[in-house]
Structure 1
Amino acid sequence: MTISLSTALQTSFADAVARTRAALTEQGFGVLTEIDMKATLKAKLGEDMEEYLILGACNPPLAHRAVNVDRQIGLLLPCNVVVRADRADDTSVIVEAMNPQILVEVTGEPALRDVADEVTRKMQAAIDSLQIAAAPA
């Protein structure tokens, strides 16, 4: 199992962030948290890095189902989605989401499988839609 669901986009960082937010919304996710790693590391450590944004995405009905199976699952929520500049290619932006199957693997709770499968379908649909939106008309 891979740790992420991901894609690379040939676009600006701002466009990738906007499209990622829209794709998440389309799949029923809201962004609860946002961490600007570039700004945080600069402010706290004086260190420079490429654009790197962590979005904490949550689909409330699915989160509710997961918490009802295992109250500790909140330790793994919300689902992190990272939008980051590709250090190897300055024309590329990488969008990657935590693989929801990790919820089952980490907890060993088979009752989470259905929820993880549904979150995976929705998150993969969001990631896939970024490529479709990027296709030339």
Structure 2
Amino acid sequence: MNIVYERRTDKSLHEAIQSLEESLKEASFGVLWQLNFKDKLAEKGLELKDDFIVLEVCNPKQAKDVLEKNIHVGYVLPCKMVVRTEDRKTYVGMTSPEKLIGLFDESELKDIAKEVEASLKKAIAASI
């Protein structure tokens, strides 16, 4: 079970984040929050070799739909996307909404998760 979907891009970290945010907006997703792990760990005196930025993203309508079907899905919301670097290469990825929501074993939720995952994969493809 591969829970991570990731693609490499020739863009810089900041270009990839900006491009991803634009692609997400076109797909009706908003970025709710962003965490720069490298900077956060540096504040604590710890060094992380590569950049690792987490974006928590949400499509409000789809979030409402799944929460109304099963409030416990809120434990895996919002969707997490990552823009990171490794060996001077930039990667854009996400955790699989389909796999995460699949843990709840409800067919109605799985259909929405498939739609969300397809939209997010399309946003990644458009951003790289």
Counterparts in 2 of 1:32 and 1:9: CA distance versus 1, 3 Å: same
User: Which of 83, 101, 104 matches 1:107?
Assistant: 104
Once the two structures are aligned, what percentage of the paired residues are identical? 30
Which runs of at least 4 in structure 1 moved beyond 4 Å after TM superposition? none
How many residues align? The count is 128
When the two chains are superposed, the root-mean-square deviation of aligned CA atoms in Å is 1.3
Counterparts in 2 of 1:48 and 1:103: CA distance versus 1, 3 Å: closer
Query: Displacement of 1:100 after TM fit?
Result: 1.1
Query: Displacement of 1:7 after TM fit?
Result: 0.8
Number of the residue aligned with 2:114 = 117
Kept in 2, the 8 Å contact 1:5–1:127? The answer is no
Does residue 123 of structure 2 align to residue 126 of structure 1? yes
Give the 3-state SS of the residue equivalent to 2:50 in structure 1.
coil
In 1, the alpha carbon distance for the partners of 2:2 and 2:78 equals 18
Letter in 2 for 1:101: E
Query: Displacement of 1:48 after TM fit?
Result: 3.1
Structure 1 residues without counterparts, runs of 5 or longer: 132-137
Give the 3-state SS of the residue equivalent to 1:108 in structure 2.
coil
Kept in 1, the 8 Å contact 2:76–2:101? The answer is no
Give the 3-state SS of the residue equivalent to 2:97 in structure 1.
coil
Number of the residue aligned with 2:59 = 59
TM-score (norm 2): 0.93
TM-score (norm 1): 0.87
User: Which of 82, 91, 94 matches 2:91?
Assistant: 94
Number of the residue aligned with 1:73 = 73
Query: Displacement of 1:130 after TM fit?
Result: 2.1
Give the 3-state SS of the residue equivalent to 1:56 in structure 2.
strand
Does residue 31 of structure 2 align to residue 28 of structure 1? no
